[in-house]
Structure 1
Amino acid sequence: MTDARIDRPRPSQPPVARRRPVSEQRHGVTLVDDYAWLRDEHWREAMHDPSLLHADIAAYLQAENDYTDAHMAPLSSFRQRLVAELRARIAERDTSVPTPDGDWYYYVRFREAGQHPIFCRAPRAGNDDRPADAPMPEDGLDNEQILLDGDAEARGRAYFSLGAVNHSRDHRLLAFALDERGSEAFTLHVRDIETQREVQPPIPNTTGNLMWSADSATLFFTTLDDNHRPCKVWRLALGDAPESAELVYAEADPGFFVSVDTTQSDRFILIHAHDHATSETRVIDSATPWDAPRLIAERVEGQEYSVEDDGEYFVLMTNADGAEDFKMVRTPIATPAREHWQTIVEHVPGRLLLDHVEFAGFRVRMERADALPRIVITDKTSGEDHAIRFDAEAYSLGIAPGYEHDTSTLRFIYSAPNTPDETYDYDMATRERQLRKRRAVPSGFDPRAYVVRRLHATAADGAQVPVTLIHHVDTPIDGSAPCLLHGYGAYGISEAAAFSSSRFSLIDRGFVHATAHVRGGKECGYRWYANGKLVHKPNTFSDFIAVAEHLVATGYSAAGRLVPHGGSAGGMLVGAVLNQRPDLWGAAIADVPFVDVLNTMMDDSLPLTPPEWPEWGNPRDDVAAFETIRSYCPYQNVQAQAYPPILAIAGVSDPRVTYWEPAKWVAKLRAHKTDSNPLLLKTHMAAGHGGLPGRFTALEETAMIYAFVLDAFNKAQYSQDDEAGPDPIRANEVY
């Protein structure tokens, strides 16, 4: 074994995508796309059946895969070592903390070597006498019933992913959603729990989102239109043919998606219609599921609200009336319109409300201030509030409200970058917390061996950008360490300072791991999001660069030793900063990257385009949005300059970031870049946005990413005894 990049053999010349220029005029600008041909005319059909991909396109994607495989072949032994390392940090046999519902405990477990979850239940009688802090038996509770065995269901299927898995209110039936292609088009199934017989003809082409009525006789679900958008809500009497389902709600605006949910009390079925800035909710009493839905409040552009009920009132969290960081209101169930809204939790600028749950005697809300989360509980009898918080510099909190409404127990999950997930049951009346489970990391993980810090970088306009980082105590902070810098910054999604066992394969080899909480997320309130979208989107990229420069200035890394890593919209971030500051990066990972933003946002036939105009702007109709997006779009701004080693990952079945975006981007980079660094494209020919399914199969992709990154810094090992791999690519072959 030797250092990876020393005298390392290289594969032959990479494949070259043929240029077939297509031009169009937009707002007085001529746009020329040399690689538009990589978008298959019949992409919708190919998304569901990749074998239908046009032969020329399939040949090019396969040539890129072959080139990637040949480049990575000398690292095959090292990659398998990484897989073993990653797997050693995962408990092979694992069980979640049981969640009570009526006479049952429901939970999920994994068997040894199992790839997929096993959904189980056991009677509370006979299991209630277990001490709360007793470890869960690896094989489940006494008198366990297996409701759905994911490993058995996956057997014989090329792809397997579950959507919702919901038991009926009477505990007799189990409804579950299954995706067999990675395209996120789910088929719904319903089984009798006792007999395991299917009692409902399968319902195809759904979103995987479903809800039961109170009497367990009616299913609510959502379906996709021809553009793969969730647009209709249906109800179906259990056992009836899918074609007899009754349409409950159809969304006329292609920019709005629909979904179904319930309040914590299970009293109401909720029908949501929403884009990224506006929402509207209708309700149906779950006890009378065939009633017409009632509107809570009509949509107002730029205003959102979410709905719970406390028996007498609907309780809403909303940004209406200038409450930028949200407030809470209540409104009578009989007359819920806006004129009846009464504020019960005031808006406080800088304190962002994130979520809320109504229990019978307690109101729970999640909020974030100073980029750190906390849980606030209100006793409905006394009106007194108290908060659950932690003292770590950076940490993550999440609520797991469970099935019960009349309870004083709140379950929440805490973690930090050096602290595996801890599941607590919290008595909201006595304020006592009980640790129910600490995530096992079997390889001898010691949290004390790692340093976690929360830093702030100063952006170009003076904004203070939070940074969460973790490194080994022995890693020198003298500018010599490489740093993997993760970012996202879109849709208001905040990057949690949570635990990940995988990243220690880098950290233990001397890497600093940092997360840049850039604008476009909501880490610092709703304004943090607003200042990273639409015309302000460039802030996302300049924030990320400011973080990189701060890590260099403070000795955590050095220019040329940072690795930007992001997926989807985070992949767009990677593409943008590669164009803008290529000198900062020593390698880059772009996972299903949204890099062809301008072309995608001008094509309203694509699944996500109209719903995402409030996020990015509508460059088709708005010249200002056109110019803004064109200024940062990674594909549009590829130029003749040196780029670092780049690994891009795509999926043919991906409905969110279509495969041709990373394929076109890589083809254009190949034609323009002036360096000889590796540029690899790995396209999953039978998977989608989520990558490879299965908890252990997914590690193969992580190991590929880490091997690529470690190789870029001479921290990988390769063996000349490893097969070089097939090399079907002839020099200068053009596709």
Structure 2
Amino acid sequence: MSGVAMTAILLGSGAARALEKGAGGRWPKLAPPQSPRVSHVIEQLGRTRDDAYSWMKFIPAAGERTRENLPEAVGTMLKAENGYADAILAPLAGERAKLLDAMLARVSGDVTAPALERDGWNYGSARPAGAAHAIYTRSRTGGKPEQLVDEAARANGQPYFRSTGHQPSPDHRYFAWAEDVIGNDRHRIVIRDNQSGEVRTIVDKDAYGYGGLVFGPSSRWLFWIWRDARNRPTRLYRTSIDGKTTDLVYEETDPAIFMQVKRTAADGFVALTLAGPETGEVRLVPAADETAAPATVWPRKVGVRYEIDEWNGGLIALTDADDAFDMALLRLDPKDFRTLATLVPHRPGTPILQIQPFKSALVRLERVDGLHRLVILRPDGNEQTIAFDDPAYAIELPLEQSYAASSAMIVHQSPKSPRRWIRVDLASGKQTVVQQQKVANFNPDDYQVERLFAPAPDGEMVPITLLSRRGAPKDGKAPLLQYGYGSYGVASDPEFSIPALALVDRGWRYAIAHVRGGSEKGRQWFLGGRKFTKRNSFTDFIACAEHLAAEGYTAKGKIVAYGLSAGGLLVGASMNIAPTLWGGVIAQVPFVDMLNTMSDGAHPLVPLFRPDWGDPLADPKAYDYIVSISPYENVRAAPYPPLLCTAGLKDDRVPYWEPAKLVAEVRHRSTSGNPALLHTDMDSGHQGSADLASEYGQKALFWAFAMRCV
């Protein structure tokens, strides 16, 4: 097909005419792009399917996707889709600007967290008032701050910038971080010499920044993880600080294993964690010999996951061994790794989420009845619990805290309570608020947070966190945005959100549906929405919306569903099951082409996540189940609500063609005439650039779209 013919098909015969108002004046009347349906028959496990939009998929032979190397048909399609989306959304420009202004107006002065103290140095970061990026500093107590990184300067001239992994060396001579200037999650690693001020790139490409770099205990080596051509973290390297020597420490050959590296709490080891959804293995490099081959703690075994740290002169393991599915905490012999004692036994329904060792106590973060609590375990076995009275809230336990500290820093927040940094004395449990997030023109008493429970079809009670203006009537008139994720055991915690406040201030309610597939109620809650029980996630999400409508918080047709990544699968499937329940659907970089993606063994995440979704290449049962729930395969002739999907051209996790195919199929089959939109960021990947204006700007677009939907 010629480029001219493709353009004509995609742009549609009405693309050049002036915008007219659609039915009811809600949307401009403009012919959408019509992507051609090209038969592509696939035979698999004795089953046959026709993927009519398979031509949208493009993987370059080498390097990342760019505007320049896209096939003509794909480039034309994405250009047409962006043009159409821009035209349909153009009337929302005024509302988007108001929403963005309202969000930015709430950001008061510097956005900063209190510094964390390490060996007399206070390390912190702040985003100056009106700035898009942070500045990292260190200082002695009472001394003048020393600038370590000015991210605005690093981002200058780059179409994309996101950094991670900021950390000092144990001797404080150096400061390192990883940065992505392409948008494909492949990082370079940068080191600053704090004596000379010299900044240099020590790893120029292909590093994995998310938990993928750490200084060795001696500060003479940097351990870092390398990503292969398929973007999988597969090797651990050790590079000398001068950059002259790089040695391979370990290479993983199983594509279903993920890697992370850290120093243990007392700097006794470098720990390489190798993990999959149902297995784990930790290899330790001792501080006494940083060039030694890593020693395996427990060989990996299917059904056993574990993490290793050190405390009180020995090693500790957080593990689900021996059916401890919500985790137990064990003490190990540091020489032969035998189990010496159980520090915290397994308690079903009370999952241990994180441990943070200190010299004088071991702090753990866990859930009880779906809500966080902190527990301080002291060497004598005495425990003290720290919890809060809010109906719904979240606690964070920041990493990189000094092992020698006499107090632990935690962060508390709720949908109506800005972030508070609280210092908890490890001896007494006394709490001292060190700092609170500044929010302008904000009174928490103007808002109400409720924790509700929706009955699922099988009788399970699904938690809901609901944010409203205080005193808002339950008369069924308020529109509501319902967010959900529900995959990989990732919980959707009830956090403070300035964008959510901006929407609620417009008369909306904001709900988080804590559906199965997440971990809000522990490991069993996750397993209840995984693989062959995945449909529970969708019916839970629908049950939450129906319950909120039945209780008068909103009404059917006035609910807009919002999901991100695997949350896009959630809202896409829920849209197929109950299209008239939703006033609109927002799917951000959505995973919606399940069958074709899970049938692609070359995809960087497919081997890792087969335990979560099944293997349609080898298992007929998995094939049939995925076919029955995949959003792309289950679009039908029905009155679909307005749909807005986003994508990133350089996204290797959920590539642009997944939402592109869903949008094309919805247009092909929907009977409502409502718009189905795809907007692709041509400069980003799975995440947008890390600046406040970009983040809030996207939320303003989503909220304006939602407001037009209902």
Q: What TM bracket, shorter-length normalisation? A: over 0.9
Classify the secondary structure of the residue corresponding to 1:177.
strand
1:108 matched to 2:111? The reply is no
**The residue matched to 1:31 in structure 2 has which SS?**
strand
Aligned equivalent of 2:114, options 93, 97, 100: 97
Inter-partner Cα distance in structure 2 for 1:109 and 1:46: 32
Residue 364 (structure 1) aligns with: 363
- Aligned residue for 2:217? 214
Pairwise mapping of residues 325-340 of structure 1 onto structure 2 (< 5 A)?
325-337=326-338, 340=339
**For residues 490 and 99 of structure 1, what CA distance do their matches in structure 2 show?**
32
Structure 2 partner of 1:602: 599
The alpha-carbon distance between structure 1 residues 63 and 200, as it changes in their structure 2 partners (threshold 3 A), is closer
Q: Of residues 55, 60, 63 in structure 2, which corresponds to 1:42?
A: 60
Does 1:123 find its partner at 2:126?
Answer: no
- Count, aligned residues: 688
1:569 is the counterpart of 2:566: yes
Q: Could you list the per-position Cα deviations for residues 543-597 of structure 1 after superposition, in whole angstroms to 9, with x for gaps in the alignment?
A: 1111111111111111111111110000000110000011110011000000001
Residue 18 (structure 1) shift: 1.1
Preserved CA contact (<8 Å) 2:217 2:263: no
Q: Deviations along 1:270-320, whole A, 9 cap, x unmatched?
A: 101111221111011134210110111011112111111125321111110
Task: Say if 1:213 and 1:287, in contact at 8 Å, map to a contact too.
Answer: no
Cα pair 2:176 2:191 within 8 Å, conserved: yes
Which residue type is aligned with residue 350 of structure 2?
Answer: R
Partner of 2:77: 60
Q: Secondary structure at the match of 2:548?
A: helix
Q: Distance in 2 between matches of 1:164 and 1:217?
A: 18
- Give yes or no for contact 1:278–1:301 (8 Å, CA) kept in 2: yes
Paired with 1:88 and 1:257, the residues of 2 have a C-alpha distance of 41
Once residues 50 and 281 of structure 1 are traced to their aligned partners in structure 2, the CA distance between those partners, rounded to angstroms, is: 41
- Equivalents in 2 of 1:423, 1:43: separation in Å? 48
Aligned equivalents of 2:86, 2:61: Cα separation in 1: 25
Instruction: Give the secondary structure class of the aligned counterpart of 1:457.
Output: strand
Distance 2:477 2:600 in 1: 45
- 8 Å Cα contact 2:256/2:609 also seen in 1: yes
- Per-residue deviation at 1:357? 1.6
- Which residue among 419, 422, 427 is the counterpart of 2:420? 422
Corresponding residue for residue 534 of structure 2: 537
Separation of aligned partners in 2, 1:164 and 1:692: 16
**Matching of residue 225 in structure 1 with residue 245 in structure 2:** no
| 8 Å contact kept, 1:109–1:117 | yes
Q: Determine the structure 2 residue equivalent to 1:29.
A: 47
Per-residue deviation, residues 116-174 of structure 1 (Å, max 9, x unmatched): 111101112xx2xxxxxxxxxxxxxx411100000011111111110211221121112
- Aligned twin of 2:547: 550
Structure 1, unpaired ranges of 5+: 128-141, 714-735
Higher relative contact order (CA 8 A, sep 6+): 1
Cα distance between partner residues in 2 of 1:51 and 1:112: 37
Change over 3 Å in CA distance of 1:401–1:219 after alignment to 2: closer
After TM superposition, the structure 1 = structure 2 runs for residues 1-16 of structure 1, keeping only pairs within 5 Å, are 7=25, 10-16=28-34
Contact 2:366 2:372 in 1 (8 A): yes
Q: Would the aligned equivalents of 2:217 and 2:269 in 1 still touch at CA under 8 Å?
A: no
User: 2: distance between equivalents of 1:459 and 1:323?
Assistant: 27
Q: Is the 8 A contact 1:182 1:653 kept in 2?
A: yes
| Closer/same/farther in 2, CA of residues 573 and 200 from structure 1, 3 Å limit | closer
Give yes or no for contact 1:222–1:233 (8 Å, CA) kept in 2: yes
475-484 or 517-526: which moved more?
475-484
Corresponding position of 2:264: 263
Match of 2:429 among 404, 428, 431: 431
Say whether 1:710 aligns with 2:684: no
8 Å CA contact 2:420, 2:436 repeated in 1: yes
Name the structure 1 match of 2:177.
176
- Look up the match of 2:458: 461
Equivalent in the alignment of 1:135? none
Helix, strand or coil at the partner of 2:459? coil
- 1:524 to partner: Cα distance: 0.7
CA spacing shift, 1:5–1:422, aligned 2, 3 Å: farther
Distance 1:194 1:6 in 2: 67
Matched with 2:677 is 680
Q: 1:467 & 1:272 partners in 2: Cα distance? A: 34
What is the CA distance between 1:216 and its match in structure 2? 1.2
Q: Which amino acid aligns with 2:243?
A: D
| Cα displacement (A) at 1:471 | 0.5
Residues 55-87 of structure 1: CA deviation (Å, up to 9, x unaligned): 211111111111111111122122111111111
Q: Does 1:652 align with 2:655?
A: no
Asked if 1:75 corresponds to 2:92, the answer is yes
State the partner residue of 1:286.
287
Partner of 2:18: none
SS of residue matched to 1:320: coil
Instruction: Return the TM-score normalized by structure 2.
Output: 0.95
Residues 200 and 239 in structure 1, CA contact (< 8 A), matched pair in contact too: no
Verify: 1:275 aligned to 2:288, yes or no: no
SS at match of 1:572: helix
Instruction: Give the structure 2 partner of residue 373 of structure 1.
Output: 372
Q: TM-score, normalization: structure 1?
A: 0.91
How many Å apart are 1:11 and its aligned residue?
4.9
How far is the alpha carbon of 1:6 from its aligned partner? 5.9
Cα distance change on mapping 1:705 and 1:200 into 2, 3 Å: closer
Which consecutive unaligned segments of at least 5 residues does structure 2 have? 1-20
1:517 and 1:9 map into 2 onto residues whose CA distance is 32
Match of 1:234 in 2: 237
1:5–1:711 Cα contact (<8 Å) kept? no
> 1:354: which partner in 2?
353
Q: Quick one: distance in 1 between partners of 2:303 and 2:647?
A: 33
Q: CA deviation at 1:690?
A: 1.1
Residue 588 of structure 2: aligned partner: 591
1:404 lines up with 2:402 in the alignment:
yes
C-alpha distance in 2 between matches for 1:364 and 1:82: 40
1:22: how far off? 0.8
1:46–1:652 Cα contact (<8 Å) kept: no
How many Å apart are 1:402 and its aligned residue? 3.7
Q: CA contact under 8 A between 1:312 and 1:332: conserved in structure 2? A: no
CA distance in 2, matches of 1:464, 1:261: 38
SS of corresponding position for 1:195: coil
**Whole-angstrom distance in 2 between the partners of 1:206 and 1:322:** 36
Identity %: 35
The answer for the alignment partner of 2:342 in structure 1 is 343
CA distance in 2 between counterparts of 1:69 and 1:370 reads 44
Superposition deviation, residue 527 in structure 1: 0.4
Residue 496 (structure 2) pairs with residue 478 (structure 1): no
Match of 1:507 in 2: 504
Quote the offset at 1:200 in angstroms: 5.4
Task: State the 1:95 CA deviation.
Answer: 2.5
Counterpart of 1:392 in structure 2 is 390
Deviation at 1:341, TM superposition (A): 5.0
**1:163/1:186 contact within 8 Å kept:** no
CA contact (8 A) 1:177 1:189 kept: yes
Does the CA contact (< 8 Å) of 2:237 and 2:250 recur in 1?
yes
The alpha carbon displacement at 1:202 in A equals: 3.6
Q: For residue 353 of structure 1, what is the amino acid of its counterpart?
A: I
Give 2:156's aligned residue: 155
Answer yes or no: is the 8 Å Cα contact 1:11–1:70 preserved in 2: no
Q: Name the CA distance, whole Å, in 1 between partners of 2:650 and 2:58.
A: 12
Q: Give the alignment's Cα RMSD to 1 decimal.
A: 1.6
- Secondary structure, counterpart of 1:502 in structure 2: helix
1:11/1:67 contact within 8 Å kept: no
Residue in structure 1 matched with residue 9 of structure 2 by the alignment: none
Q: Deviations over 1:175-221 (max 9, x none)?
A: 22110111000011222124332355443101112110122111100
The letter of the residue matching 1:350 is: G
Alpha carbons of structure 1 residues 56 and 285: separation in structure 2 relative to 1, 3 Å: same
Is the Cα–Cα contact under 8 Å of residues 688 and 694 in structure 2 kept in the other structure?
A: no
